[in-house]
Amino acid sequence: MIFGCRTDGGTLVQVCGELDIATSPVLYEQLIGLIVDNDHVVVDLAGVEFMDSCGLEVLLTCQDSAELAGTELVLRRPSSRVNRLLELTETTAHFRIEDEAPPLPRSTTPAQLSPRADGSRFST
């Protein structure tokens, strides 16, 4: 499941559950739209219980897209399973990783992100 909220500093996307062949295309679509529209995108991975190579491919592809777009993509609080995959594949250095989350502004309320009918963007 993917949740997101917009703040003055960019966009926060929280990913929970499994990030695998079935769910990674959804995350890809969400992140690509955010990368185009924002200067700063944070992906909080603390709630990820499982991630396979498809999830890793999405993160690497989105990191490359973010660099091309001039957007900073940050992985925040990756779970131990995500960290282990990054270490095993020696891809940790490809990402900016934050271990701690700064507090969200009081006016920020998380909302589930869902694709729009045209599939090009998402709405809250």
Q: Report all structural domains of the chain as residue ranges with CATH numbers, in order of start.
A: 2-102+109-115 (3.30.750.24)
pLDDT score of 109 more than 90: no
Alpha helices of the chain — where are they, by DSSP H? Answer: 24-37, 53-69, 80-88
pLDDT score of 62 more than 50: yes
Q: What is the dihedral of CA 82, 74, 29, 60, to 10 degrees?
A: -60
Average pLDDT, the chain: 84
pLDDT tier, 121 (very low <50, low <70, confident <90, very high otherwise): very low
Contact 18, 50 (CB under 8 A): yes
Choose between 117 and 22: higher pLDDT: 22
**Does residue 33 come out as left (phi exceeding 0), alpha (psi in the -120 to 50 range) or beta?**
alpha
Q: What is the dihedral of CA 98, 58, 1, 75, to 10 degrees?
A: 0
Separation in Å, CA 51 to CA 38, 59, 84, 93: 25, 11, 10, 18
What pLDDT is attached to residue 103? 59
Instruction: State how far the Cα of 95 lies from the Cα of 91, in Å rounded to an integer.
Output: 8
Contact 49, 79 (CB under 8 A): yes
What pLDDT is attached to residue 124? 41
Choose between 120 and 12: higher pLDDT: 12
Q: What is the mean pLDDT of residues 35-62?
A: 95
pLDDT tier, 94 (very low <50, low <70, confident <90, very high otherwise): very high
